Structure 1
Amino acid sequence: MKARYSLTTRLTVLFTLASGLVLICLGTLVAVSIDRHFVELDRDALRDKIHLTREVISKSKSPQDLQTRLDDVLHSHKGLYVSVLRGAESLYSTTDFQFPKDLIALTQTARLGVASWQTKSGEYRGMSESVPLPGSSDPPLQVWVALDIAHHKHFMYGLIRVLVGYVTLATLVAGFLGWWAAKKGLAPLRAMRSRAMSITAQRLDEGMPSQEFPVEMADLATTLNEMLRRLKEEFDRLSEFSSDLAHELRTPINNLMTQTQVTLSQARSTTEYQEILASNAEEYQRLARMIADMLFLAKADHGLILPRPEIIAVHDEARALFDFYEALAEEQQVRLTLAGEGELSGDRLMLRRALSNLLSNAIRYTPPGENVVVSIKGDLHGTTVDVINNGPTIDEQMIPRLFDRFFRADKSRKQLDSDGAGLGLSITQAIVHAHRGRITANSANGKTCFSMYFPRTPR
């Protein structure tokens, strides 16, 4: 299993590695710069010695005179080695020192024109230069000059040890400071965690105090508060839904239990038993419808799928529903009116169910002698179906909740003239959303309109 590390540990490690890398690069830069400076100093010193040797050569009258003069001049220069060659013949050479045979090639390829080499006796830097003899046609002399750089190397070794120690110590200190900074910087996050742990289902309204957090975490706190607000709304809606569901189920079950207990209290005739069973069957049918509606809404919560999408003539479906509700409308003394035409792509049974729910509600709440109008408007963008009826104006504050499950505009739990459970509008909304549409409601001046919009889809 992959190890999990805290954010403080990760930040500390990253900060330590970054600090160590920066310090190593800085130390390397210092060491390289100092070493380059020593090379430049040695180059200048070697050029001076070559210039001095050239002057001595120009003043010498013979090889013996050259040796004498160079011994006198170089006697006081400790760590300096000189060799003067004429072809393969050595005119002068410092005692007990041997130059590399390929010094000329090394000088040509070396950095800054200074060759470096190492022997058992030490480390050296050297240069070579051709010195023509004035007034002579003989080949020029080769002057080789070398310096003992042991003191430079000793200084560099000491400097590198100091730099390594400093970088190690500074990296450890930077790591500790990084841990301290990360721990202090993440303190608001720990406070947010503690606050979140104290939030329960009964305390969802206790949000995060975003003003107390840094700017970088204020947005996170605000987002969490928005999430908690949505959760509280859903939790309250679920609690209310559970209460309504329990009440709606309790009523028919209590009716069945009471009627059954009364029936069993004494002997009944066959006719009475048949009447009681018929009454119980009505309650069972109501329970079955309610359960079927709840299953339908449960599917809608997880994404309702259109089983049989097809091109539907909405006006034909509305006309068929008019025939179905004609008897009820005549009983309520309500006239049904259809206006307009339109098509949409969707499931025929679902659409008929949504339109049926709106029609039954409109007929139920329309006073005698008034009209229920179904208006259909289709264009290039989609189809709008409006169900309009005259009747009691719905309170504006209740309109947003009309599509909640088990919600009724009146405060009573059950209307005497209706066996509905308050799920019709919720089902209608789920069907419209399944068709990627939207449904709205408005009520004013004794007129209520439910409007369903279905966007047009390719055939």
Structure 2
Amino acid sequence: MFKSARIKLTLWYLLMIMAISVIFSLIIYRVQVSESERILQRQRVRIESGGFLRPGFGPAPLEPEILEEARNRLKLNLILINLGVLIVSGGAAYFLAGRTLKPIEEAVEDQKRFVADASHELRTPLTTMKTELEVNLRGKGFGQEAKKILESNLEEVDKLSYLSDKLLRLSRYEQKEGLVFSPVSLNEVVEEVIKKLSGLTKSKKIEIVKNLEEVNIQGDFAALAEGFGTILDNAVKYSPKESKVNVDLQSKDGKTVVKIQDFGVGIKNSELPHIFDRFYRADASRTKEKVEGFGLGLSIAKAAIEKHHGKIEVESTPGKGSTFTVTLPTA
């Protein structure tokens, strides 16, 4: 993320520096040309008025050819100077961009470490709370009203445990911790994901149309399954009943491309740049159904895919559906 931001900031710095350099070059060129033209014009006036120029008196007469040659020489010198400025300022701009972004990058890394540490530390007390609540619910010393409160508390503890687990996995994917890379059959990953979602697809009578080519890549099976599982799960959840979801897996030119297409209500163009952000949810615009979650699924999917040196893109047309495209290097 910060590499692309550094390059963009470098280009902006470079653009500003070169704009200033070009403006000054144009001013210098214009001033020199104007001065040469004024000298030539004064000489012409003196000649026309009979005041012939004599050697040793005043500047030597300027011929149009000499003036044109001087202009071309000035242009070449200014171009060379600007090329030198471009090269030097390019390195300086890249260095300056790095210095500018370094405090932000360090703050983001500190935030990620805090989230990972907090998520890890929360697991033990949450597990303890859940156990105590479950024991109390099985006891006979509480009335119905008290048990309802305990059940509500247990539900909230489960939500916190789920959120903590999601944040911990997201942090691990972003830092590439706990991932074990080995030869993986990507079509087996997709088949496993489809199998796990069979209950949901049957309940909504959604058909998964598969076109899977046999492809092997270097990756972590569990991380890939979670990434593709999130995308396919969303495709099914946001699709109307009795519809279909297309899953296409092909390998070409050293790249593996997986496309997951649904025919739901789609995503608004204004929301597309944000759907991979943490805690961002576009449920209200995508479906009338209530979909539980914290808006972390696609963030986790993106992190898992990027740790496999891949990328994830989305195209969507409101009212027609969405297509998520995952590109990975082939082993």
Which TM-score band applies after superposition, normalised by the shorter structure? 0.5 to 0.7
Distance change >3 Å, CA 235–CA 365, structure 1 → 2: farther
1:322 equivalent in alignment to 2:194: yes
CA distance in 1: counterparts of 2:103 and 2:295, whole angstroms: 23
CA distance in 2: counterparts of 1:360 and 1:404, whole angstroms: 18
| Residue 370 (structure 1) shift | 1.7
1:373 equivalent in alignment to 2:257: no
2:214 aligns with 342
1:430 equivalent in alignment to 2:303: yes
* Alignment deviations for residues 24-67 of structure 1 (CA, whole Å, 9 cap, x no partner): xxxxxxxxxxxxxxxxxxxxxxxxxxxxxxxxxxxxxxxxxxxx
Q: How does 1:412-427 map to 2 (within 5 A)?
A: 417-427=290-300
Q: How does 1:62-141 map to 2 (within 5 A)?
A: none
Q: How does 1:251-400 map to 2 (within 5 A)?
A: 269-304=142-177, 306-307=179-180, 309-312=182-185, 314-345=186-217, 346-379=219-252, 381-400=254-273
TM-score (norm 1): 0.42
Secondary structure at the counterpart of residue 390 of structure 1: coil
Contact 2:244 2:262 in 1 (8 A): yes
CA distance in 2: counterparts of 1:418 and 1:229, whole angstroms: 40
* Alignment deviations for residues 415-445 of structure 1 (CA, whole Å, 9 cap, x no partner): 9722211111111111112222221111136
Secondary structure at the counterpart of residue 258 of structure 2: strand
- Aligned residue type for 1:344: N
CA distance in 2: counterparts of 1:349 and 1:423, whole angstroms: 17
Gapped runs of 5+ residues in structure 1? 1-206, 242-248, 261-267
Distance change >3 Å, CA 227–CA 348, structure 1 → 2: same
Distance change >3 Å, CA 237–CA 456, structure 1 → 2: same
1:455 aligns with 329
CA distance in 1: counterparts of 2:205 and 2:106, whole angstroms: 43
Aligned residue pair count: 230
CA distance in 2: counterparts of 1:302 and 1:400, whole angstroms: 23
| Residue 220 (structure 1) shift | 6.2
Secondary structure at the counterpart of residue 147 of structure 2: helix
* Alignment deviations for residues 64-90 of structure 1 (CA, whole Å, 9 cap, x no partner): xxxxxxxxxxxxxxxxxxxxxxxxxxx
2:77 aligns with none
Distance change >3 Å, CA 218–CA 339, structure 1 → 2: closer
CA distance in 2: counterparts of 1:344 and 1:317, whole angstroms: 10
| Residue 397 (structure 1) shift | 3.7
| Residue 364 (structure 1) shift | 1.4
| Residue 411 (structure 1) shift | 7.0
Contact 1:340 1:376 in 2 (8 A): yes
The structure showing larger relative contact order (alpha-carbon pairs under 8 Å, at least 6 residues apart) is 2
Distance change >3 Å, CA 353–CA 401, structure 1 → 2: same
Secondary structure at the counterpart of residue 281 of structure 1: helix
Q: How does 1:158-307 map to 2 (within 5 A)?
A: 210=17, 211=20, 215=85, 218-219=89-90, 222-223=93-94, 226-227=97-98, 269-304=142-177, 306-307=179-180
CA distance in 1: counterparts of 2:253 and 2:167, whole angstroms: 35
2:281 aligns with 408
Distance change >3 Å, CA 343–CA 281, structure 1 → 2: farther
- Aligned residue type for 2:330: R
CA distance in 2: counterparts of 1:448 and 1:235, whole angstroms: 36
| Residue 225 (structure 1) shift | 6.2
| Residue 295 (structure 1) shift | 1.7
- Aligned residue type for 1:449: T
| Residue 269 (structure 1) shift | 4.3
Distance change >3 Å, CA 351–CA 405, structure 1 → 2: same
- Aligned residue type for 2:325: S
* Greater Rg by CA: 1
Contact 2:251 2:330 in 1 (8 A): no
Distance change >3 Å, CA 454–CA 304, structure 1 → 2: farther
* Alignment deviations for residues 243-275 of structure 1 (CA, whole Å, 9 cap, x no partner): xxxxxx9xxx9xx9xxx9xxxxxxx94344334
Worse-matched range after superposition: 422-431 or 317-326: 317-326
CA distance in 1: counterparts of 2:106 and 2:269, whole angstroms: 24
Secondary structure at the counterpart of residue 429 of structure 1: helix
| Residue 289 (structure 1) shift | 1.9
| Residue 358 (structure 1) shift | 0.7
Alignment RMSD, CA only?
4.3
Contact 2:174 2:304 in 1 (8 A): no
- Aligned residue type for 1:454: L
More strand by share: 1
CA distance in 2: counterparts of 1:301 and 1:315, whole angstroms: 24
Distance change >3 Å, CA 367–CA 226, structure 1 → 2: farther
CA distance in 1: counterparts of 2:284 and 2:99, whole angstroms: 29
Contact 1:318 1:338 in 2 (8 A): no
| Residue 362 (structure 1) shift | 0.7
Distance change >3 Å, CA 442–CA 452, structure 1 → 2: same
TM-score (norm 2): 0.56
| Residue 221 (structure 1) shift | 6.2
Secondary structure at the counterpart of residue 342 of structure 1: coil
Contact 2:250 2:256 in 1 (8 A): yes
Contact 1:384 1:453 in 2 (8 A): yes
